[in-house]
């Protein structure tokens, strides 16, 4: 195994973590472990790993949601290690953004091979965990939003709208894409729902007040978060 490799393991079972630590044989500073989702997400943001090994059955959050949270700011390869063998579980994890799925039990040689493949296919550039512009600060890892130093309390939908726009700051995101990404299939034409939530988000951001313009509407197309 590459001695420079950094791995974050998010797994609540201590025997599995010990098995992975011994089997991967990484030097000090190459193996980071967490038994909870929240701690693991923070660890991914702090340690900048080359790969994440993730169990789906965590005590504080389902692994699919963990994948979605991590994908809000980085394309780091994620390999799911799970006892769940149903096709539906695999599809859900892969659709959420996982790169691979290994069903327990598995061998270290197979896992090492999967890691090598995931790293070859992984993106070479990573997004920052922080978006900052004109007083607006979005911390993707902590899932917090501040405006002029004051923390805003957004709904789940409002946060996801803002996070999606911030990830693609300066680019137009179509209404159809926002609806599909946040509400899911079948909502691609629910433009009224999108306008209502976008209006609420703009209100909380103070968008349009005192000359501040953060979210621009591209009429008939979608929305763009101003980045310069």
What backbone phi and psi angles, to 5 degrees, belong to 196? -65, -50
Domain boundaries defined on the chain: 7-121, 130-225
Residue of higher predicted confidence among 54 and 172:
54
User: Is 65 a residue whose pLDDT tops 50?
Assistant: yes
Q: Please give the average per-residue pLDDT across 45-56, as a whole number.
A: 92
CATH topology of domain 7-121: Rossmann fold (3.40.50)
Global pTM?
Answer: 0.69
Task: List alpha helices for the chain, DSSP H.
Answer: 14-24, 37-47, 63-70, 87-96, 108-121, 156-167, 175-182, 191-205
Half-sphere exposure of 19 (CA within 13 A, CB side): 15
Q: Is 155 helix (H, G, I), strand (E, B) or coil?
A: coil
Whole-number mean pLDDT of the chain?
88
- For the beta sheet containing 78-82, the strands, ordered from the edge strand earlier in sequence to the opposite edge, are 31-34, 7-10, 51-54, 78-82, 100-103
Read off the pLDDT of each residue in 107-126 and give the average, rounded to a whole number: 78
* β 144-147/136-139 pair status: antiparallel
Fold of 130-225: Arc Repressor Mutant, subunit A (1.10.10)
Look at residue 23 and tell me whether its pLDDT is greater than 90.
Answer: yes
Q: What local confidence, expressed as pLDDT, does residue 125 receive? A: 44
């Amino acid at each position: 195994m590459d001695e420079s490799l950094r791995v974050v393991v998010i797994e609540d079972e201590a025997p599995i973590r010990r098995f992975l630590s011994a089997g991967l044989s990484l030097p000090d500073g190459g193996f980071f472990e967490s038994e909870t989702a929240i701690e693991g997400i923070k660890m991914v943001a702090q340690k900048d790993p080359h790969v994440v090994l993730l169990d789906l059955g965590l005590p504080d959050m389902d692994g699919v949601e963990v994948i979605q949270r991590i994908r809000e700011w980085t394309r780091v390869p994620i390999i799911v290690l799970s006892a769940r063998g149903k096709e539906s579980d695999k599809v859900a994890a892969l659709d959420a953004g996982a790169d691979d799925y290994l069903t327990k039990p598995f061998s270290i040689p197979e896992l090492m091979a999967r890691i090598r493949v995931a790293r070859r296919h992984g993106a070479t550039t990573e997004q920052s965990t922080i978006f900052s512009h004109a007083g607006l600060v979005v911390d993707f890892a902590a899932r917090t939003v501040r405006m002029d130093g004051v923390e805003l309390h957004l709904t789940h939908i409002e946060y996801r709208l803002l996070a999606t726009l911030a990830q693609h700051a300066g680019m137009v995101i179509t209404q159809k894409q926002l609806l599909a990404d946040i509400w899911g299939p079948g909502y691609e034409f629910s433009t009224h729902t999108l306008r209502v939530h976008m209006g609420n988000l703009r209100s909380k951001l103070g968008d349009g007040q005192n000359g501040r313009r953060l979210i621009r509407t591209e009429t008939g197309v979608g929305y763009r978060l101003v980045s310069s």
